[in-house]
Amino acid sequence: MVNYEDFVNWKQDPVTKQFFNQIEDKIEEVKELLVQDAGKDPEGDRYLCGYARACYDILATEFKEDD
């Protein structure tokens, strides 16, 4: 079972920080693609928006105590 201290340690680990930085970079890439090409492929635009939303959700990971 993971406790809050484990979670904090994980969030502060250099590998985790690098992973989160790469997620942030992906979000910026998606934003740039949408700024340059939005409207050319509406289905692709929706996919990219969903992808960015998923990335934001990963960045917002918080500790939740298991029941």
What kind and span of H or E run contains 27? Answer: helix 14-37
Which tens digit of pLDDT belongs to each residue from 10-60? 999 999 999 999 999 999 999 999 999 999 999 999 999 999 999 999 999
Provide long-range contacts, Cβ within 8 A and 24+ apart, for 29-35: 30/55
Closest CA to 29 of 51, 14, 58: 51
Q: What is the pLDDT of residue 37?
A: 94
* Alpha carbon distance 11, 20 (integer Å): 9
Query: In the prediction, which pLDDT does 6 show?
Result: 94
